[in-house]
Amino acid sequence: MHQFLELENNIKNELLLNNIDENIEIRISNFPNYDFQIDNLVKHQNHPEIEKIVISISKIIENDDSITNYQITDKYFINLEINIESFIKVFENIKNIIRSQSSKKIILDYGGPNIGKPLHVGHLRSLNIGRSLSKINQLAGNKVLTDIHMGDWGMPIGQIIGYIEKFDIELGNIDINDLEEIYPKAAKLYGEDKVFKDHAQLINKKLNTNNKNLLKKWEKIKRISVESIKEILHLLNHTFDLWMGESDVNYLIPEMIKRLDKDGKISIDEGAYVSNLESDPKILITKSDGSYLYLTTDLATVSNRIEKYDFDKTLYIVDKRQKLHFDQLFKSLDYFGFAEREYEHIAFGTINDLNGNPYKTRQGDTKKLIDLFEETCLYIENINPEIEDKTIKILANTVLTFSDLITNRMTDYKFDLDKFTNITGKTGIYVQYSLVRAKKLVQNSSINKNDLQITVSELDDTDIKLLKSFSKFEYLFTKALVNSEPHHLADYLYELSNEFNTMYQGERILENENLSIKYNKLKISYLFIEFSTLLMESLGLTPVDKM
RNA sequence: GCUCUCGUAGCUCAAAUGGAUAGAGCAACAGACUUCUAAUCUGUAGGUUAUAGGUUCGAGUCCUAUCGAGAGCGCCA
């Protein structure tokens, strides 16, 4: 870690002298009285020079400013207690500490709304995780490009246009509500009516070959849909750099197929193109009527991105049921000889209802995000009717984001609005409240942050606990970044908020006549505000000023 | 049928990706408000990590088997 750089290097070098090549990992400790631990030595407990090594390492730790107390156990665990005084500088400089020297260009592919379908609960996690990962990567110094990657092509479009043609619906008059009604009906008909199915498939095929008349209809439908998507995303505070869709790469596909065929990478099987790569199941590249599939457009999308944006890495934030698809995509990229880049499927679990079934409305439809948002606003209004409209909206977004990001992304979790809007407990409301409290406190004190010093001898247990917790930031941030797991930061935000509240509640800070104590607590509150705000930023939350 | 996840406190979830004594929140119980925002805080109780073996200094985490739950599997995206 950056904050222990010197210590890590010194220990690493000492171990190298004894022919031990270890990447020194300083981890958070749960042991009472210690803050961090180093476990690298444990596995070398039978090393012939182990006692000598222990002595040298002890010296290194004793000479290190950042450590005030340490212990090397009989099993060779190294326990460290940090020196708070030396860490104040680290805390004040936390934004630079977490910024990495090497900057990568990363594309985040998430959201993935479909034309004709409203944004629903199924989109919530992709949006939340994607936004958070984009913030985290930016804070880490990476260059981030977000792409909403719309599902604006393929069979659903064929179904919608087919339906409109069949029932002679006037395109000029339809709005988003009509469209959202048409799609489920069209999809149903597609499954039931063979004639309609053939017609829709024909439309899809014609679109793939750029039929002008159909393209015009498609454009109109897309425009209505995108307007509505933008509206709801604005409400949920999501923005994207790129609004690319599957349709944008359609023109690249014929050329791509031709090349793959020529290179002997794909061949015809029962009329469809199949990858020649050995795999089970075989990888289907096109349909037997020559039209394109999910994988076809995704391949073309990568090819387009390589050419236009020259990225180092792409993260696909898509639910875990699509694992096979991404396995196939990544294998194919390699086999087909696409330029070498990093790709990762950031998979996540489903949102279920309290019985563990997929989250639906009472009528059995998927729940729309707009309805969920409004429902959440109502809950918040009920807590405090005096609250401003603007604040209600921010808090509703906080609830929908925090409760989503607090669980490990791979877990299927149960959505419970009662619980998530609960005023007690590990909720978005709680972390916002804590920050509001802290801001009000320092505001009432009328003392500037820079005029405050920490007097270590006057710190009490609640101060020390919070200060020491600040030192975990780099560790948890790195973990969230490396593993693309925002939940570490959500949990940490709660922990800091809770520790702040404990300190705050301990005594009436502004009335304390011992100025050292008062200034300590105010300084710590300022630091808390900074850390909490930074954590909220990395989770995609907007802090409120009052509530 | 094949493949892949998962099973942790009454409930909802964590667990530093193999580290020491498995942690939080809710619910329960007992306490603290003439308040710098009590939308808060303090304390108590709650566990043979589904079961049985194995690997090693060390296992909730890795391997094997069994039981249970879920998901995916060539013409949807």
Residue A531: DSSP 8-state:
H
- Distance (Å) from CA A445 to C1' B34? 22
Nucleic strand B within 7 A of Cβ A72: no
* A29 touches A35 (CB < 8 A): yes
Nucleotide nearest to A294 (CA to C1'): B77
Nucleic strand B within 7 A of Cβ A97: no
Distance of CA A72 to the CA centre of its chain: 38
Nucleic strand B within 7 A of Cβ A502: yes
Single-letter residue type at A508: R
- Residues 6 or more apart whose Cβ sits within 8 Å of residue A51: none
Nucleic strand B within 7 A of Cβ A377: no
Please give the pLDDT value at position A403: 94
Nearest residue to A2 (alpha-carbon basis) of A78, A93, A104, A105: A93
Nucleotide nearest to A112 (CA to C1'): B77
Nucleotide nearest to A318 (CA to C1'): B77
Nucleic strand B within 7 A of Cβ A22: no
- Residues 6 or more apart whose Cβ sits within 8 Å of residue A61: A7, A67, A70, A78, A80
User: If you measure CA to C1', which residue is closest to nucleotide B75?
Assistant: A287
Nucleic strand B within 7 A of Cβ A96: no
Q: What is the ipTM of this complex?
A: 0.96
Distance of CA A402 to the CA centre of its chain: 11
For residue A114, count CB atoms less than 10 angstroms from its CB and return exposed for 0-12, middle for 13-18, buried for 19 or more: buried
Helix (H) or strand (E) holding A216: helix A212-235
User: If you measure CA to C1', which residue is closest to nucleotide B38?
Assistant: A505
Please give the pLDDT value at position A418: 82
Distance of CA A488 to the CA centre of its chain: 11
By residue count, chain A amounts to 547
Nucleic strand B within 7 A of Cβ A75: yes
- Token pair belonging to A518: 């008062």
- Distance (Å) from CA A176 to C1' B59? 55
In angstroms, rounded to a whole number, what is the distance separating the alpha carbons of residues A403 and A415? 9
In angstroms, rounded to a whole number, what is the distance separating the alpha carbons of residues A367 and A471? 41
In angstroms, rounded to a whole number, what is the distance separating the alpha carbons of residues A502 and A499? 5
Torsion A207-A211-A212-A213 (CA) sign: negative
Nucleic strand B within 7 A of Cβ A42: yes
* A89 touches A95 (CB < 8 A): no
Nucleic strand B within 7 A of Cβ A247: no
Query: Digits of tens for pLDDT over chain A (547 positions)?
Result: 789 999 999 999 999 999 888 889 999 998 888 999 999 999 898 888 999 999 999 999 999 999 999 999 988 999 999 999 999 999 999 999 999 878 999 999 999 999 988 999 999 999 999 999 999 999 999 999 999 999 998 889 999 999 999 999 988 889 999 999 999 899 989 988 999 999 999 998 898 888 999 999 999 999 999 999 999 999 999 999 999 999 999 999 999 999 999 999 999 999 999 999 999 889 999 999 888 999 999 999 999 999 999 999 999 999 999 999 999 999 999 999 999 999 999 999 999 988 888 888 777 788 899 999 999 999 999 888 889 999 999 999 999 999 999 999 999 998 888 888 887 889 999 999 999 999 999 999 999 999 999 999 999 999 999 999 999 999 999 999 999 999 999 999 999 999 999 999 999 999 999 999 999 999 999 999 999 999 999 999 999 999 9
Three-class secondary structure of residue A358 per DSSP: strand
Tell me the β-bridge partners of A109. A147, A316
Helix (H) or strand (E) holding A420: helix A417-420
Please give the pLDDT value at position A251: 92
DSSP codes of every residue in A279-327: -SSPPB-B-TTS-B-HHHHHHHHHHHHHHHH--SEEEEEEEGGGHHHHH
Residues 306-325 of A with CB under 7 A from strand B: 320-325
In angstroms, rounded to a whole number, what is the distance separating the alpha carbons of residues A197 and A242? 33
In angstroms, rounded to a whole number, what is the distance separating the alpha carbons of residues A522 and A148? 43
Nucleic strand B within 7 A of Cβ A159: no
**Is-cis flag, bond preceding A281, omega within 30?**
yes
- Distance (Å) from CA A62 to C1' B38? 45
Residues 442-481 of A with CB under 7 A from strand B: 444, 475, 479
Cα A336–A339–A342 angle (5° rounding)?
Answer: 105
What's the Cα-to-Cα distance from A365 to each of A120, A180, A376, rounded to whole Å?
10, 12, 19
- Distance (Å) from CA A46 to C1' B55? 19
Nucleotide nearest to A441 (CA to C1'): B36
Alpha helix ranges (H) inside A65-115 = 84-92, 94-98
Q: Which bases along strand B come within 7 Å of a protein CB atom?
A: 2, 4-6, 12-17, 19-21, 23-27, 35-42, 57-58, 69-77
Residues 273-292 of A with CB under 7 A from strand B: 274, 280-282, 284, 287-289, 292
- Distance (Å) from CA A401 to C1' B76? 29
- C-alpha neighbours within 13 Å on the C-beta side of residue A78: 27
Nucleic strand B within 7 A of Cβ A250: no
Nucleic strand B within 7 A of Cβ A269: yes
Nucleic strand B within 7 A of Cβ A398: no
In angstroms, rounded to a whole number, what is the distance separating the alpha carbons of residues A547 and A528? 18
In angstroms, rounded to a whole number, what is the distance separating the alpha carbons of residues A318 and A345? 7
Please give the pLDDT value at position A33: 86
Nucleic strand B within 7 A of Cβ A211: no
Nearest residue to A138 (alpha-carbon basis) of A92, A106, A97: A106
